[in-house]
Every structure is written in C-alpha cells, then in structure tokens.
Amino acid sequence: MPDAAALAGPLIGSSESSLNMLRWMLIGGVLSLAPALAIMTTSFVRIAVVLGILRQGFGGGQFLPTQVTTALSLFLTIGVMTPVWTTAWNAGLAAYAPAEDATDAERRAQLTDALARSVEPLRRFMALQVEASGNTAAVDLLLDYQAQWNVSSSPPQFYEDLPISVLLPAYVLSELKVAFVIGFQLLLPFVVIDILTASVINSLGATSLPAAWVAFPLKLLLFVLIDGWFLTAETLLASIRPFT
C-alpha cells in the first residue's frame, strides 16, 4: 500500500502550484494598475479634464473626437513631465550599478534605494503643484484623517515629506480643482454664445431652428479668431509650476 507521503505528494504539489498561480495573478493585477497610477502622478488629469470640458463647450462630440483630445493631453503631458522623468531616471535607476560580487540581499537593497531616489522627483513635482495652487485643504483633511488612526505620528514639516498615501490623493484633488477652474473660464464664452443665440432665435420666432446649428459656427469662429488652441495650451502650461 502507498504510504501517506506518497499520497500527500500530489496534494502538496497542487497546493504549491495554486499558490504560485495566485501570486502571479496578484502581480498581474498590480501591474495592470501601474499605468493608471503613473498617469495620476503627472499633469495628465488636469490637461485631460480641461480639454474634455472644452469639447463639451463646443457641443460637437463628433467634430472633436475623444481620441484627439486624449492624444493632445498625452503629448502635452509628455512635454511637461520630461524634465521630471529625466531627473528621476538620472537620480535613481541610471545610477543603479551593483557590484558583480554583491549578494542578492545587497542587490535588493541597492535596487530599493534606487527606486526610492527615482520616486523622489515625482513626489517633489506633485508637492510643488499642490503648494502652488494653494489647495492645502485636501492635505490637511487627509492628515487629520490619518491622525485619527495613528495618534503617535507627528505631522510633516514640508510637503516633500508627506506620505504617499496623503500626497497622491491630495495631488489628484488639487489637479481636479484647478482643471475645473480653468475649464469654467474656457466654457463661459460658449455659454454666453448659447444664451444669446437662443434669445435671438426666440425673438425672431424661428423656434423650429435648433439653436445649436447657429451657435456652433459662432463658437468655432470665435475660437479661430482668438487662436483658441494656443491660448488653451498656454493657459494649461502656465498653470503648472515648472519643476526645479
């Protein structure tokens, strides 16, 4: 008769395979969130929201496809974030050069240190934007919330010292607030055109004529005359504090 070890062998092997599969599934899930986390640490949120509001202001979704505004947001983000990414690469991973005789523990420690140095410029960039926009209420809110669960911790003295669990959501909230302010400034002229167009059409009694058919060419003409794309890009870039 087979002994107990022989019977348990397939079960143990199956259990180890299941654990390995679960581990790889968890790693894959984390890696799938990496692009979203990377986007949230850049100026993409601010730019994409502003261009989305501008697209809605025109009232012509087919005229200005989402793919165009997304691509423009991505290209502007690359232009803004290139100095930050270059600094992060040079400060961290580019300097990672473990010795040939280094142990695995030493290599892991050096890699962890290199990753920490690479993240530091991103933290400084996010802290600069929160501080420049004056949106410190979100930082205070999150710090106060965490202090309820960790009363022994002392609040950081500088924005660069904020924990990532506070800095990242505060940065996203700050970006959304700034984007809505800029979007309102861009949307206001279009709203005025819509109101004036609807009033003129109603006063003429041409109620069967859709106001959007008249308002859209006027919006497009105004946007072209003031060089709207340049002004929008200039406003967005001016609202982002340069990385130093």
Q: What does each of the 244 residues of the chain score in pLDDT, given as a tens digit?
A: 455 445 444 444 455 666 667 767 776 666 677 777 778 889 999 999 999 999 888 876 667 788 888 999 999 999 999 998 888 888 777 666 666 666 767 667 777 777 778 888 888 899 889 888 888 888 888 888 877 776 556 667 666 677 888 888 999 999 999 999 999 999 999 989 988 888 888 888 777 777 777 888 888 898 899 998 999 999 999 999 887 6
Q: How many structural domains comprise the chain?
A: 1
Q: Does a structural domain hold residue 27?
A: no
Specify if 95 maps to a domain.
yes
Determine contact, residues 153/108, Cβ cutoff 8 Å: no
* Spatial distance between the Cα atoms of 162 and 124, rounded to a whole number of angstroms: 10
At 153 the pLDDT is 62
Does the residue 17 lie in any domain?
no
User: Could you tell me if residue 28 is inside a domain?
Assistant: no
The answer as to whether 184 is a domain residue is yes
Taking Cα atoms as reference points, which of 46, 69, 43, 47 lies closest to residue 56?
69
187 within a domain of the structure (yes/no)? yes
Helix residue spans in the chain (DSSP H):
4-40, 44-58, 66-91, 104-133, 137-147, 164-204, 211-225, 228-239
Q: With beta carbons less than 8 A apart as the criterion, state whether 42 and 77 touch.
A: yes
Predicted TM-score (pTM) of this structure: 0.79
| Contact yes or no for 107/98 (Cβ under 8 A) | yes
Interior/surface letters 41-73, b for 16+ CB within 10 angstroms, e for the rest: bbbbbbbbbbbbbbbebbbeeeebeeeebeebb
Would 13 be classed as within a structural domain? no
Residue 131 falls inside a structural domain = yes
Contacts of 61 (CB under 8 A, 6+ apart): 55
- Per the structure, the complete domain to which residue 145 belongs is given by 44-239
